[in-house]
Amino acid sequence: MRPEDNFMKTPALRAQGIARGVLRLLQAHDFSGLQEMSLGNGRRADIVALGRDGEIRIIEIKSSVADFRSDSKWPDYQPFCDRMYFAVAEDFPQALIPAGTGLIVADPYGGAIIREAPEQKLAAARRKAICLRFARLAASRLLDQDLKLRLDSSSGDA
């Protein structure tokens, strides 16, 4: 089995592989992405991406048809982004994806925007709140990584 096939083994590994590919795609389009970001309504988006111009995109990952059909909360994400996408693997039946959203097909090595999401501009106050939440989360995760690296390197000295 090829290493890239490993991501198909379980829904969790499949979702991780899709997320990795989406983050690579976003980076290629000059967006910075964060996984698992809480929104102002208490929902948690799979990926929130911030563009150089302040555009905010939310990407909801679906690892299977069952995962898609069991999720009715995705409309709650739309008021917190300029564009909303679903990201799926290549074998996902794309006709299931709602027309008012974008579609990304991804695997662990990258992805492609198959259908661009319609733009719904955020109000300035909400954009500012989301950008601040994004920045604080990114900084917090960097600090956590730095502390973990320091702890890991100091434990090797003993």
User: pLDDT (tens digit, 9 = 90+) per residue, 47-96?
Assistant: 999 999 999 999 999 999 999 999 889 999 999 999 999 999 999 999 99
Domains and CATH numbers, the chain: 3-153 (3.40.1350)
pLDDT in tens, 112-121: 999 999 999 9
DSSP letter for 54, please.
S
Reduced to 3 states, what is the DSSP secondary structure of residue 35?
strand
- DSSP bridge partners of 34: 48
pTM to 2 decimal places: 0.88
pLDDT tens across 124-133, in order?
999 999 999 9
Residue 118, amino acid: P
